[in-house]
C-alpha cells in the first residue's frame, strides 16, 4: 500500500456505548466515502467525455492522411 497501511484490528465490544461509537464511526466513514464519490465522479465523467471527443477529432483529422497511403 502507499503511505497509509491498513492493519487488521479487532475490538472487544463490551458495552452498548462501544457499539454506538463503532456504529457512528462506520456511518461517518460511509458519509465521507459518498461525499468523495459525489465530488469526483462528475470529474471522471467529464474527463472521459473530453478524451472521447479528442480521440474522435484526431481520427477525423487524420482520415485524409490515412486514406492516401
For residue range 38-59, list pLDDT tens digits in order: 999 999 999 999 999 999 999 9
pLDDT digit string, tens, across residues 10-35:
778 899 999 999 999 999 999 999 99
Number of domains in the chain: 1
Q: What Å distances lie between residue 14 and 7, 24, 25, CA to CA?
A: 22, 16, 17
**Residue 7 located in a structural domain:** no
Residue 61 resides in a domain: yes
Residue 51 within any structural domain of the chain = yes
Look at residue 5 and tell me if it is in a domain. no
Q: Containing domain of residue 51, as a range?
A: 18-69
Residue 69 lies in a domain: yes
Buried b (16+ CB within 10 A) or exposed e, 22-53: eeeeeeeeeeeeeeeeeeeeeeeeeeeeeeee
- Say if 45 falls within a structural domain: yes
Amino acid at each position: 500500500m502507499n503511505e497509509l497501511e491498513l492493519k487488521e484490528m479487532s475490538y472487544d465490544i463490551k458495552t452498548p456505548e462501544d457499539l454506538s461509537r463503532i456504529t457512528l464511526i462506520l456511518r461517518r466513514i460511509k458519509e465521507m466515502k459518498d461525499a468523495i464519490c459525489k465530488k469526483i465522479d462528475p470529474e471522471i465523467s467529464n474527463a472521459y467525455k473530453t478524451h472521447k471527443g479528442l480521440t474522435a477529432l484526431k481520427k477525423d483529422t487524420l482520415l485524409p492522411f490515412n486514406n492516401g497511403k
